[in-house]
Structure 1
Amino acid sequence: MSVRQYGTVGELMQWTRELADAPYRSYLYSYPHKTAYQPIEPAIPLSKLWEAEQADSYFLYMHIPFCAVRCGFCNLFTLPDRRADVHKEYVDALERQAEQWAEFMHGKPWARFAIGGGTPTLLEPRQLERLFHIAENILGLNPQQASISVEASPDTVTQERLQILRAHHVDRVSMGIQSFVEAESAAIYRPQKPSLVEAALEKLTAFQFPLLNLDLIYGLPGQTVQSWLYSVERALSYEPGELFIYPLYTREHTIVKPEQIMEQGEDIRLQCYYAARDLLLSRGYEQFSMRRFARPAAIGAKQVLHYSCQEEGMVGLGCGARSYTRGVHYASRYGVSRAATQSIIADYVSAESYRSADYGFILNEAEQRRRFLLKALLHKEGLVLDAYEQRFGTRVLEDLPQLERLLATGLALVESGNLSLSDEGMAYSDAIGDWLISDAVREQMEGYVVV
C-alpha cells in the first residue's frame, strides 16, 4: 500500500486527530442505524421474508418499553409508566404477536434469547413469568441450548423476580448502574442512591447467575477520572463476569443537553476510557470491544447453539424491537418523546395483525457487505478476510478502499488474514463506525426527524 495514495504522513496524522475529535452521532451496535428506517411499500409478508432466511439458528429478542423513570441520557424506545394494567395489555399483545409469528419460524432452533427495554423487571412477577411462557411454549425456546439474558435495574431487583429468572435458566443478568456516586447519578436524572445499588447487587450475587453484567457510564457532568475509577472499583468488588463502559452521548430529546457534557471535553472522556481499560486489563479482564470487557471464565458459561452477530436471524418481538433478515431489517416506528412512544405503543397494543413488515430498511448487496464488515471490525475478533470473500465473492479492501486509510494511520491492521482495529483504533471505534456509514444511509439518517 502506498501511503501517498491516501495523503502525506502529515495529512494522515491530521485526519486521525480529526477522527478522534469527531462528535459521534452514536455507536453502531447495528447497521444500518434505526434512523435510516423508512416505510416499506408495499409491506412484505413475514412468511415470505423468513422463508428465505438462511441463518441456521435464531436470536429471539423481546422489548419491554417501560421504565420507572427516563434517565437523562436515554433516547431508547421506552416510556416511564409503572401501571400494572398497561403492562398486562402490552404482554397480551406480545403473546398475540408471538402466536402469529410462530407460524413462519419453521422450527429453527433459538441460540439466544434476550429480554431488554426499558426495564423488563419492572413488570409484576406474573407478567415477567408470562414472557418465558411465550418464548418456551409458543415459540419453542429450549432453555438448555440457548443463552438467556435479562436486563434489570437496581430498584426492581426482588427475590421473587430473581427466582423466576433462575427457574427459567437465565444465565446472564445485566444491570445498569452508571455510577456509584450519588451526585453523578443525579446529574443524569437517575434518582438512585448507592445504598439501593449495593442492596440489589447483594441479592444478585447471592443467586449466583452464571454471568453478571454491569454497565457504567463515563463523561458524566462533574465526573473526574478519580470518581470514575471509584465507580469501576466498586463494580469490580462484586466480581462481575462482564463489564460494559459507555461514554455519555446526548441526542435528540435526551434530558441531558450537549452543553452539559461539552464542559467536560473529549480529553476527559478519553482519559476515563484509558484509565478504565488499563485497570480492567490489569484485573484479568479481556477487551472485546470499546465497551465490553469480560473475564475469560465468564465467556460461554452455558453450552449453546452457535449464532454469529454477523449473521441475521434476529427475531424482535414487541414494540420498539428490531428484526434482521439478510436482506431486510424491520421494526415498529421509533420515537423518544412521551407523546410519540405512547402513540406507537397504543397502535401496537390495538393491532390485530403483526404478519407484515411495513417499516424498516431493505439492504442491497453493498449495504449487506458494509454491515458484515462493521459487525466484525468494531469488535476485537475483527473481520476474517476469507469469510468475507467466501460470502460475497469479492475482497473487502477492493469494495471499501477507504479502509486503507485506517491501515495507513495504524488504526487498523491485517494479521494472519484478519482485519482488526489496533488498540488506538479501538479507542476511536465509535468515530470509525460513524465514518464508515454509507452515503445512502447517512442521507436517510440526516433526513430523519426524531419525535
Structure 2
Amino acid sequence: MMEAHPLYKKNTGHDAASLHNWKESLVSEPYRSYLYSYPHKTAYGELEKRIELSELWSAEPAETFFLYMHIPFCGARCGFCNLFTLPDKRQSVHEQYVDALERQARQWAPYVGHKPFARFAIGGGTPTLLEPQLLERLFHIAGEAMGLDEQQASISVETSPETVTRERLRILKDHYVDRVSMGIQSFVEQEAAAIYRPQRPLEVERALDLLKSQQFPVLNLDLIYGLPGQTIESWMYSLGRALSYEPEEIFLYPLYTREHTIVKPEDIRRDGGGTDNRMMCYLAAREHLLSQGYTQYSMRRFAKADVSLAKTILPYGCQEEGMVGLGCGARSYTRNVHYASRYGVSRSATESIIADYVAAERYDRADYGFILDVPEQKRRFILKALLHREGLALGAYEERFGSRVMEDYPELHLLPDTGLAEMDAESLRLTDEGIAYSDAIGDWFISPEVRKRMEGYVLA
C-alpha cells in the first residue's frame, strides 16, 4: 500500500488505503472530458447584467493579448465533433459572416487595441473552406481593424485535406503564418468512414505533399485513437504515415463521445476482453514518439524541441488571460470574466445562433459567460499549468494570489501521494502516469459550483 504524504495525512486524516481507493476511482474513467480551458463552456450562462467592453478590457493586466477568429463552417460534421460549427459551403453565407466579423472587429478595436497581440489564430470549423478572397480578408481585418503586426505575432491557421490548395497556402505564406494545423484523424479509409468523415488517403497525401512543399515553420497533424474498428496495429500505421511527413508537432486525441455527437459510447472499439483500448493506443504512440525525438508537452501534444521561427515573437503566458475572441462561437477571456456567444451543436441551434450574430448591429457588450471570483481564478491558474509538462510553479501562484497553493487546496497532495505527480520546493508536476490521466485529473479538480452549472446545462 502507498504511504500517505505527512502534510496531507495531517490535514485530512486519509490513510494509504483511502488514497489507493481514490486513485482507483480517478483512473477508472480516464477520458471523462477534455478540459482545454477552465471553466468549461457549458458552465457559461446569461450574465445578470450586461458588461460594457470598455469596462472589461481597460484594466486587463496581461501585457500582450491573443487574437482568435472563429470560422464556424466546415464541409461536413464529423461523427465525434461537438464544436460550434455548421456544415455549409455556400459562399454567400460565408461572405455575410465575414462582413459581421469585420463589424465586430472594428467595434472591439478601441477597447483591445491598447496592447499588442502576441498570438493570432484562425480556427473553426475549417477556415480554409473560405474562398481565397475571403481568407485573405481575414488577415486584413486582423491587421487593419485590430492592429495585428504579423511580424511580431505567432500565427496559426487550421485546415483540412480537401481545402488545401496552392492559392490558399500562398495567402498563408504571404501573411507570415508560422503554424498550419491539419486534422487527419486516420489514414485508414474505413476508420475515417466510421466517424462519418468523408476522407480518402490519397486526398490526405496530396494535401500533405503540398503543405510540405511550402515549408511552414510548424506543421501540426491531429490523429484520433479509439476509433470504431481500429486496432493497435492500424492505429500505429496511421501514426507512422503521419510521421513520414516529419511534422514539427503532432496532437493525439482519444475519441470522445458527447451529447449530440453522431458516434456514441458503444461505438468505441473494445478488444476481446471487453476493455477499452484507448490507453494501450496512447502508451504505444507515446513510446514511439519519444523514440523518434519528440518531446511530450501534455497528454495530447508532442513536438520537436528544435523548431525555430524566422521572426521574434512577443511573449504571452499560457496562464494569462487577454484572449480576444472574434466571431460567433469564439470565447474571450479577461481575468475576471469569460464571455462568448451562445453555444450549440445541433444544426438548428447553430444556424439560429449564427443568424443572430450576422444580423446584429452592435457587439460591444458581454451578456453571456462566466464571472470568475478569486477561488475560480485560482483553479484556472492551477489547471492551466498542471496539465502541461512544465507543471505548476508554486512561487508564481504565491506571487499572483498571495497565498500558498497547497494550503489553499490541500487535496492536491493526493496527486504526489498516489504517484500521479511530483512535488519539490519549486513546482508540482504530473508524472508520466499523471499526464496519461490528465482528463480525469482536470475533471476531478472542477469546483462544485462549476460542476453544478455544467450538469444543469441543456445543450441544443
TM range (shorter): over 0.9
Deviations 1:231-279 (A, max 9, x none): 1110000000000000001001000011111645664111000000000
Structure 1 residues 121 and 106, CA, compared in 2 at 3 Å: closer, same or farther? closer
SS in structure 1 of the partner of residue 250 of structure 2 = strand
Tell me whether 165-174 or 101-110 shows the greater mean CA deviation.
101-110
Matches within 5 A, 1:21-36: 21-22=28-29, 24-36=31-43
Residue of structure 1 equivalent to 2:55: 48
1:27 deviation in Å? 1.3
The 2-side partners of 1:30 and 1:112 are apart by 17
Residue of structure 2 equivalent to 1:90: 97
Matched, 1:224 2:231: yes
Task: Decide whether the 8 Å contact of 1:58 with 1:110 is kept in 2.
Answer: yes
Matched, 1:178 2:185: yes
Residue of structure 1 equivalent to 2:372: 363
Task: Decide whether the 8 Å contact of 2:389 with 2:430 is kept in 1.
Answer: yes
1:298 deviation in Å? 2.1
Matches within 5 A, 1:414-425: 414-425=423-434
SS in structure 2 of the partner of residue 402 of structure 1 = helix
1:22 deviation in Å? 1.7
Query: Paired residue for 1:433, among 423, 427, 442?
Result: 442
Residue of structure 2 equivalent to 1:402: 411
Task: Decide whether the 8 Å contact of 1:77 with 1:334 is kept in 2.
Answer: yes
SS in structure 2 of the partner of residue 22 of structure 1 = coil
SS in structure 2 of the partner of residue 174 of structure 1 = strand
Residue of structure 1 equivalent to 2:142: 135
1:401 deviation in Å? 1.1
Query: Paired residue for 2:457, among 443, 448, 451?
Result: 448
The 2-side partners of 1:290 and 1:414 are apart by 19
Task: Decide whether the 8 Å contact of 1:328 with 1:361 is kept in 2.
Answer: yes
Matched, 1:380 2:389: yes
The 1-side partners of 2:48 and 2:31 are apart by 31
SS in structure 1 of the partner of residue 252 of structure 2 = strand
Matched, 1:279 2:294: no
User: Mind listing any 5+ residue stretches in structure 2 that lack a counterpart?
Assistant: none
Task: Decide whether the 8 Å contact of 1:6 with 1:405 is kept in 2.
Answer: no
The 1-side partners of 2:31 and 2:47 are apart by 28
Residue of structure 1 equivalent to 2:130: 123
Q: TM-score, normalised by structure 2?
A: 0.96
Matched, 1:309 2:309: no
Query: Paired residue for 2:207, among 200, 204, 207?
Result: 200
Query: Paired residue for 2:344, among 332, 335, 351?
Result: 335
2:61 alignment partner AA:
Q
The 2-side partners of 1:392 and 1:67 are apart by 42
Task: Decide whether the 8 Å contact of 1:24 with 1:434 is kept in 2.
Answer: no
Residue of structure 2 equivalent to 1:270: 279
How many residues are aligned here? 451
Residue of structure 1 equivalent to 2:360: 351
User: Mind listing any 5+ residue stretches in structure 1 that lack a counterpart?
Assistant: none
1:13 deviation in Å? 2.2
The 2-side partners of 1:151 and 1:95 are apart by 20
The 2-side partners of 1:384 and 1:236 are apart by 33
SS in structure 1 of the partner of residue 239 of structure 2 = helix
SS in structure 2 of the partner of residue 108 of structure 1 = coil
Task: Decide whether the 8 Å contact of 1:31 with 1:371 is kept in 2.
Answer: yes
1:422 alignment partner AA:
T
Matched, 1:253 2:242: no
Tell me whether 407-416 or 140-149 shows the greater mean CA deviation.
407-416
Structure 1 residues 385 and 196, CA, compared in 2 at 3 Å: closer, same or farther? same
Residue of structure 1 equivalent to 2:330: 321
The 1-side partners of 2:163 and 2:281 are apart by 29
2:417 alignment partner AA:
A
Identity of aligned residues (%): 68
The 2-side partners of 1:401 and 1:379 are apart by 20
Deviations 1:264-299 (A, max 9, x none): 566411100000000000000000000000001126
The 2-side partners of 1:354 and 1:235 are apart by 41
